[in-house]
Structure 1
């Protein structure tokens, strides 16, 4: 199963993103638990910031990580669609999001 399939099943691809081919790997953990693509999390599970490790092969390539809620405040009433929680820019490939700039 590719990393994109769970995002399509969760309607992230279609509602938020166009279909894409991943070019770098990403590993996200909350409280030492690996987060899988398309997973839904309760607010109580994400009180602390996640650890994000970005793959890639070149430190000269920079990535942007965006955390949005595509169905805020709820899937049945998405009046605040794509609510931006946070964004990290300029993350060098092969490092973690902590090397980027929080925006």
Structure 2
């Protein structure tokens, strides 16, 4: 989670609140969502306690973010393989 990104730059110029965590689905298909809000002003944002059950609507309302300006999602599924590690040979 990154806040306070100047509009003409990228996320590396913002304030990182939480680092990126890669997908780690235990089983089944999981949906991952990235949502972009436009802040009206700089503000102090507290990191959420945990990733599971994070409520985006409550977060946006608490920090007065309004509606999202963009969103991206993808589905991820763990391979069901019991063969152990695979070795690639040249």
Q: Which has the higher contact order (CA 8 A, sep 6+)?
A: 2
Higher strand share: 1
Higher helix share: 1
Scaled by the length of structure 1, the TM-score of the pair is 0.31
Scaled by the length of structure 2, the TM-score of the pair is 0.34
